[in-house]
Amino acid sequence: MIRNQVLKLAQHCVRMLGAEQAHDLSISALCAGLHPIAKEPDDPRLAVRLLGQKFPNPIGIAAGFDKNAQVYNAMHQMGFGFAEAGTVTPLAQIGNAKPRAFRLPKHRAIINRYGFNNEGMDAFQQCLKDAPAQGILGINVGANKLTKDKAADYAACIEKLAQYAAYITINISSPNTPGLRGLQVGAALDDLLARVVEARDKAARIRVEGNEMPKPLLLKIAPDVSEDHLDAIVKSVLDHRIEGMIVSNTTFDRQSVVGSSNAKQAGGLSGAPLFDRSTIILAKTRERAGRAFPLIGVGGISSGEQAVQKLEAGANLIQLYTGFVYNGFELLADVKKELIAAMDKEGFSRVSVLTSSNVQEWASKPFPTLPV
Ligand SMILES: Cc1cc2nc3c(=O)[nH]c(=O)nc-3n(C[C@H](O)[C@H](O)[C@H](O)COP(=O)(O)O)c2cc1C
């Protein structure tokens, strides 16, 4: 009890620092074990079977929080159903010049242009060897800024790191690495998907109910896609038998934050203003990919109600980032509470029954206008 109050106070103080300093301090605190620990096991109704795993609950911490694979076990101990570490690139890189992360508190949003700052895949692998994952771990892979053949970087990370992961995310949707979102288009996407599947097929497999299956690959996309573009992405993903998608990364759109002091900062916008855009694209992806296709919904979840909405719009699992930064660890408990309340209200015995129960309402909205 007292420990939780001290942690709440610390959380409040951390928010008074600059966004990147606050993040660095939070990582140090988590590394030192200064975080709440979930005491009770999850309600069994929250469990989700997907991608060959049994997730204890459908709530994960999104990529970018634990870029260097330092705190995934702390996130599991806090009660997240899964953690996604990365984005990791083959070589260490320092990323863009600081400052490169900005809060927009009035809008409960963040703009970041980190540019894949990370210690590189060798250091990442060492962390995974030193602290084997105690829960479900996804690894999010990317390409170095200066690499010309970007697909080769994804393949290199997969070959080295797939053995430690429950799934691998192919992140081609960060707005902060020049040319990266270009990989979401046409022949470049087909070439990339063919090469990541080839790399994955060389890597270790997982055993599910006595059968061996390849490590699942998930493609993480931007919310700034047109109708034709989304049609083409989903077709390529299905053609190459990629196991799932994550919708979505941050947006270039600034319409909903006009007037905020940091609104004109370059980079990707996350948090509350992203919720509608990312949820519409999620539902439209669900419509195109079919009911059985694994989808992780992320973008703007700031409350338990929004977590329910994300599942209803088509997500099998959800992830938090900016909402977690603003609301702290209480958000995780609130989301679990709200998911249980939603199941009780409808008389559902499993959280997965919520998935896709309201795709139509979100998918029928027009594609959000594209940022210029
Ligand atoms: C500071 C920051 C850094 C991020 N870094 C990454 C990253 O390295 N790789 C990635 O795939 N997504 C990254 N993201 C995107 C998040 O994983 C997530 O897709 C996005 O923020 C939308 O969710 P949210 O509105 O809940 O924050 C980052 C987001 C933020 C706010």
What is the rounded CA–CA span in Å between residue 316 and residue 17? 35
pTM exceeding the 0.85 threshold for the entire prediction: yes
pLDDT in tens, 14-61: 666 889 999 999 999 999 888 889 988 999 999 999 999 999 999 999
321 Cβ inside 6 Å of ligand 1: yes
- 246 DSSP assignment: E
Relative to the CA of 110, which ligand 1 atom is closest? 31
Distances in Å between the alpha carbon of 67 and those of 61, 100, 206, 270?
11, 15, 24, 17
Q: Of 125, 111, 127, which Cα lies nearest the Cα of 156? A: 125
- Local structure of 83: helix, strand or coil: strand
Ligand 1, atom 23, residue with closest C-alpha: 299
**pLDDT in the model for residue 192:** 95
**pLDDT in the model for residue 212:** 81
Relative to the CA of 84, which ligand 1 atom is closest? 17
Domain 2-363 homologous superfamily, CATH: Aldolase class I (3.20.20.70)
Mutation to probe ligand 1, out of 27, 176, 180, 250 (largest number of atoms < 8 A from CB): 250
The yes-or-no answer on residue 26 being catalytic is no
What is the rounded CA–CA span in Å between residue 72 and residue 138? 10
Give 334: exposed, middle or buried? Use CB within 10 Å, 0-12, 13-18, 19+. middle
As a residue count, the chain comes to 372
What is the rounded CA–CA span in Å between residue 12 and residue 7? 9
pLDDT in tens, 244-283: 999 999 999 999 999 888 999 999 999 999 999 999 999 9
30 touches 67 (CB < 8 A): no
Ligand 1, atom 8, residue with closest C-alpha: 64
249 Cβ inside 6 Å of ligand 1: yes
**Sequence ranges of the domains in the chain:** 2-363
Instruction: Mark residue 293 as left, alpha or beta (left: phi above 0; alpha: psi -120 to 50; beta: remaining).
Output: beta
Q: What angle do CA 345, 297, 24 make, to 5 degrees?
A: 115
Ligand 1, atom 13, residue with closest C-alpha: 64
Ligand 1, atom 4, residue with closest C-alpha: 64
What is the rounded CA–CA span in Å between residue 303 and residue 336? 10
Structure tokens at 133: 């994952």
- Out of 26, 28, 173, 174, pick the active-site residue: 174
270 Cβ inside 6 Å of ligand 1: yes
- Which residue do the tokens 């895949």 mark? 121
